[in-house]
Amino acid sequence: MSGIVGIINRNETAIDRDLLQRMTEFMSYRGPDEQQIWLDGNVGFGHTMLRTTRESVGEKQPFSLDGIWITADARIDGREELIEKLKINAVTDAELILRAYQVWGEDCVQHLLGDFAFAIWDERKQKLFCARDHFGVKPFYYAEVGNSLIFSNTLNCVRFHPGVSDELNDLAIADFLLFGYNQEFTTTIFADIQRLAPAHCLTWSKERLQIKRYWTLPTDGFIRYKRAEDYVENFQELMEKAVSDRLRTNCIAVSMSGGMDSTTIAATACKFLRKGGDTFDIRSFTVVYDKLLPDRERYYSGLVGETLGIPIQYLVADDYKLFGKVDRPLLQRPEPSNLSLLAIFVDQLQQIAAHSRVVLDGNGGDPVFYSWGAYFYFAHLVKSWKFDRLIGDTVEYVISHKKLPQPGVRSQVKRWLGVRPPLPTYPSWINSDFSAKLDLPGRWERFYREQRLIHPIRPEAYQQLSSSGWPYLFESYDPGVTGLPVEVRYPFFDLRLVNYLLAIPPVPWCLHKELMRVAMRGILPESVRQRPKTPMSRDPTTVLLQQTESQWVDEFEATPMLAKYVDRNAMPIVSGIQSQRDQAWIDLHPLNLNFWLQNVNKINYFSVKEKTHAIK
């Protein structure tokens, strides 16, 4: 959504107005509606507005109440409940946050739901308070250099400040080469620039900078109902809250495949909008393959579109080439990323941007329902001497599915015996000196080593939801990275919904997404509702690597900077080779890094008009 930036000088040096103005204007592509700055002595905030909710019409930021200032990129959920607690009239989301801070101070984050990154300057206390939402949907970057603190939700905006160097963070580069993204929640690819981790807040004063966690994923939730219908009805209610809180506009897009997650979101959105009685425009956007590989997403998404009565705009991806269009400004990223087929994502986002500023996305459905089987739940019931519940849940599952629930005992036995799957082969092309300096083989082994199980009943879902991969994905979809004024919203990462799904019995409700399938009975087409989880039959990248025209990927010219990290001569041939998807992707990481290194120092801080023209 909106762009935020701030500078604070600890030594009372006045803020450079021109610098703050230029840093703010740099973010105008992500906030084209209005740009404003505020400064007072050694403190300055900037904001670029992207209006995506009804409440944001006419909103102005930075905003103040009684000498307390805020700049926020935020969408607050559960607004009615929070407004009631604060005993105020309906206000913008930024004002909600600020009023919550006035009442509860730094504990205001305990009362906030939604996606947010914000900074509050408390003039009376001479203190800065910042926070990032629970799952890290909204980015927040900062750099403490010299006597200054610089922050923004846009990485390259922080780089704009002359005190921030372009020195690279070698460990972040190593993580990209090994795993495809930085495994650390708190660092970036640049040594001077840090990330505020999800569910953390930052406090800065003249004396110190302090960071603390304000929330952790719960492990003690316990919800049990007597009637099976109650589980379904409560899920439907929470799903509608999660979707409706992420609408707040009558022009909406849905990124929709033919699977259960995105189609459930589309169906819930249609139900809510039609119930409201206002006019609305909802459309779905779907990437399909018609020739390159077997793909039935067009068929299944078409059934859903026809049933729900919503138009679908298809993007046919058959003719995209590996690393096609990489010279386009919209494909250049502030940190290394997989560029091989990024043009597909960018083109679809441009389609969406022509229709709406808000798109609902189905990511999150897999982790919240993820399960290795019934073992952990049944083991918990046995330890608790709840044999009646064990028998009842098993019988209920058998009646519904005509088979016993998948136990997952085999995996647990292997775990007891210490049997581990073989590690993937460590990349031989990593520069040996670089590898030894950072002990990268040890980092590789730790990454693939089995993690400690935390949640007593849903450890697999807990691991999935706690992964560093999610903040990475959210940031890659953020307007500060995509260059397009489109906000992606994720109903399955609604905190209320996540807490509920971690607290209910996983058998039968989480196995094979049973709860969602029952809830969508009579709403989605039966062939979609009953469709099993269906991964893509073949990976487009590995298919394209078989084509003669992709041979150039083995012959690319390496920039001199790459030699520090990669032994170019040790890189294997990847084109024309039948290889597993994961291995092919790993072996393409050096090429992706090479493209990024070629452009890392080519950030064009052009004018608002030039920037707007460049992203069209």
Whether 363 and 424 map to the same domain: the answer is no
Q: What is the structure's pLDDT at 440?
A: 97
What are the residues whose beta carbons fall under 8 Å from the beta carbon of 285, sequence distance 6 or more?
A: 253, 254, 255, 256, 312, 313, 315, 348, 351, 352, 359
Distance of CA 284 to the CA centre of its chain: 20
Q: How many domains does the chain have?
A: 4
The answer to whether residue 83 is domain-embedded is yes
Q: How confident is the model at residue 376 (pLDDT cuts 50, 70, 90)?
A: confident
CATH of the domain at 166: 3.60.20.10
Shared-domain flag, residues 548 and 525: no
Q: Which of 311, 249, 322, 320 is nearest to 286 (CA)?
A: 311
Amino acid at 199: A
Flag whether 604 is in a domain. Answer: no
**Closest to 495 measured CA to CA, from 57, 115, 53:** 115
**Residue 373: what pLDDT?**
65
Q: Give yes or no: residues 483 and 430 share one domain.
A: no
CA dihedral 555, 560, 566, 567 (to 10 degrees): 70
In the predicted structure, residue 125 carries a pLDDT above the cut 70? yes
What is the pLDDT, as a whole number, of residue 452?
80
Q: In the chain, what are the helix, strand and coil shares in percent, each to the nearest 5? A: 45, 15, 40
| DSSP structural state of residue 108 | G
In the predicted structure, residue 412 carries a pLDDT above the cut 60: no
Structure tokens at 528: 């979609």
Q: What do you get for the CA distance between the two ends of the chain, in Å?
A: 18
More confident residue, 287 or 12: 287
Whether residue 606 lies inside any domain: the answer is no
pLDDT per residue over 284-310, tens digit each? 999 999 999 989 999 999 999 999 999
**Residues in contact with 224: Cβ distance below 8 Å, sequence separation at least 6, in sequence order:** 504, 505
DSSP for 411-447 reads HHHHHHHT--PPPPPPPTTB-HHHHHHHTHHHHHHHH
- Domain assignment present for 534: no
145 or 402: which leads in pLDDT: 145
Residue written as tokens 């309906």?
90
Per-residue pLDDT tens digits for 209-242: 999 999 999 999 999 998 999 999 999 999 999 9
User: What does pLDDT average to over the chain?
Assistant: 91
Is 495 in a helix, a strand, or coil? helix
Residue 11 confidence class, pLDDT cut points 50, 70, 90: confident
CA distance 146 to 546: 52
Q: Is residue 389 part of a domain?
A: yes
Residues 426-450, buried b or exposed e (16+ Cβ, 10 A)?
A: ebebbbeebbeebebeebbeeeeee
Is residue 108 included in any domain, yes or no?
yes
Residue at which a domain ends, from 481, 501, 529: 529
In contact, 270 and 240? CB cutoff 8 Å: no
Q: Is the pLDDT of residue 449 over 50?
A: yes
pLDDT at 606 > cutoff 50? no
Report pLDDT digits (tens) over 532-564: 887 777 899 999 999 999 999 999 999 999 999
Indicate the angle between helix axes 260-276 and 228-245, nearest 10 degrees: 70
Cis before residue 198, ω within 30 degrees of 0?
no
Say if 613 falls within a structural domain. no
Maximum distance among all Cα pairs of the chain, rounded to whole angstroms: 73
Range of the domain at 234: 228-369+465-529
Q: Of 500, 529, 558, at which residue does a domain stop? A: 529
Distance, CA of 566 to CA of 568 (rounded, Å): 6
User: Is the confidence at residue 605, as pLDDT, over 90?
Assistant: no
**Do 286 and 162 reside in the same domain of the chain?**
no
**Confidence band for 415, pLDDT divided at 50, 70 and 90:** low
Would you call 251 helix, strand, or coil by DSSP? strand
Orientation of helix 260-276 relative to helix 297-308, angle to 10°: 20
Beta-carbon contacts of residue 277 (< 8 Å; ≥ 6 apart) = none
Cis-peptide into 62, omega within 30 deg: yes
The strand pairing partners of 441, in sequence order, are none
Binning pLDDT at 50, 70 and 90, where does residue 612 land? very low
Tokens 């028998």 belong to 391
Q: Average pLDDT in the 427-440 region?
A: 96
In a shared domain, residues 45 and 141: yes
For tokens 């064009």, the residue is 604
Estimate to the nearest angstrom the gap between the alpha carbon of 151 and the chain centroid. Answer: 20
DSSP 74: E
Asked if residue 306 and residue 240 are part of one domain, the reply reads yes
Tell me the pTM.
0.93
Residue showing tokens 């070629």: 598
- The confidence band for 577, taking pLDDT boundaries of 50, 70 and 90, is confident
Distance CA 278, CA 338 (A): 41
> What is the tens place of the pLDDT at every residue in 84-111?
999 999 899 999 999 999 999 999 999 9
Q: How confident is the model at residue 180 (pLDDT cuts 50, 70, 90)?
A: very high
Residues 77 and 45 grouped into a single domain: yes
Is 224 strand, coil or helix?
coil
Q: Is the pLDDT of residue 317 over 60?
A: yes
Which residue intervals of 209-259 are DSSP H helices?
228-245
- Does residue 297 lie in a domain region? yes
Query: Same structural domain for residues 86 and 193?
Result: yes
Q: What's the token pair of residue 570?
A: 């040790």
Strand partners, 32: none
Least trusted range by pLDDT, from 4-13, 79-88, 382-391, 585-594: 382-391
Interval 161-175 mean pLDDT: 96
CA 68 vs. chain centroid, Å, equals 30
Show Cβ contacts of residue 158 under 8 Å, excluding neighbours closer than 6 positions. 5, 141, 142, 143, 150, 151, 152, 164, 193
Weakest mean pLDDT among 45-54, 137-146, 154-163, 452-461: 452-461
Which DSSP string do the residues of 163-207 spell out, in sequence order? TS---B-HHHHHHHHHHSS---SSB-SBTT-EEPPTTEEEEE-SS
- Does 58 share its domain with 181? yes
pLDDT band with cut points at 50, 70 and 90 for residue 614: very low
pLDDT of res. 408: 58
**Which amino acid makes up residue 191?**
A
Percent of the chain whose pLDDT exceeds 90: 76
Do 154 and 260 sit in the same domain of this protein? Answer: no
The Cα–Cα gap between 586 and 535 comes to 20
What is the structure's pLDDT at 256?
A: 96
Residue 334: in which H helix or E strand, if any? none
Q: Specify whether 9 is located in the same domain as 128.
A: yes
Q: Above 80 in pLDDT, residue 396?
A: no
C-alpha of 366 from chain center: 14
Q: What is the pLDDT of residue 609?
A: 29
What CATH number is given to the structural domain containing 491?
Answer: 3.40.50.620
Mean predicted confidence (pLDDT) in 472-489: 96
Looking at the structure, tell me whether residues 504 and 547 fall in a common domain.
Answer: no
The dihedrals phi and psi of 226, each to the nearest 5 degrees, come to -80, -35
User: Does the pLDDT of residue 419 top 60, yes or no?
Assistant: no
Would you say residue 341 has pLDDT above 60? yes
Instruction: Point out the domain boundary residue: 478, 494, 529.
Output: 529
Write out the two tokens for 312: 């679908």
